A = this chain, B = another copy of it.
Amino acid sequence: MALDGGELGRSAYVGARVSPQRAAIARAADAMTSAFSVDDLLEAVRRQVPGVGAATVYRAVSAMEASGFVESLGVREGSAIYARCHSGEHHHHLVCTGCGAVSDAECPVAPERYTASDGFRVTGHSLVLYGQCAKCQSAPSSISPHGRGGGI
C-alpha cells in the first residue's frame, strides 16, 4: 500500500480539487489498519491538520466511498464504520472482532448460483467476514483496550 510521498490525494480518490484537508483525510484513511468510524478519522486528521470540520470529513468519506477508496462495513454502536480498500478488484473484508484489524478477502459469491432462483437476477452484494486475527486468537481474550480501532 504505502502511497508514499504526498501524492495520495491526487491518485487515490478524486475530488475536482485536491485540498490539503482531503489529502490529509485520504492519508489518514490509508493509514488505518483497522475498521474506522468517521469520528476516528476526524480525530486522526486533526492531529495533522487542526481545525478540520466534521462536515468536511463526512463529505470526503462520501466521496471516497463513491470512488471505492473505502468501503462501508455497516454500523457499529450507532455509527457507520469503514475500511480502506487496498485493491481495485472486487473483494471483501475480514474484520477481527477482537481488535478491528481488517484484511482483504476474495469473493465467494457466484451470481450465477442464484440467477435461477425465482428468476431473480443478482447484480450485486455486500459481504463482510468476521472472526479473529492470529494475534487475538493467541491473546487471552482480554477485552480489547478501549481505544482507536477497538473491537468490532
Copies of this protein, total: 2
Q: Which residue of B lies closest to A125 (CB)?
A: B129
Q: Verify if A126 is at the interface (C-beta below 8 Å from B).
A: yes
In the complex, what distance in Å separates the CA atom of A11 from the CA atom of B120? 31
One of A22-30, A34-42, A44-52, A103-111 contacting the partner: A103-111
Which residue on chain B has the smallest CB distance to residue A130?
A: B124
Nearest chain B CB to A23's CB is how many angstroms away? 23
Chain B: minimal CB distance from A67 (Å): 11
A118-152 contact mask (Cβ, 8 Å, vs B): 1 or 0: 11111111111111111001000000001011100
26 contacts between A and B (CB under 8 A): A65-B149, A66-B148, A72-B150, A74-B126, A75-B75, A80-B149, A94-B114, A94-B120, A103-B120, A105-B114, A105-B117, A108-B108, A109-B127, A118-B134, A119-B133, A120-B131, A120-B134, A121-B131, A121-B137, A122-B131, A123-B130, A123-B132, A123-B146, A124-B129, A124-B131, A126-B130
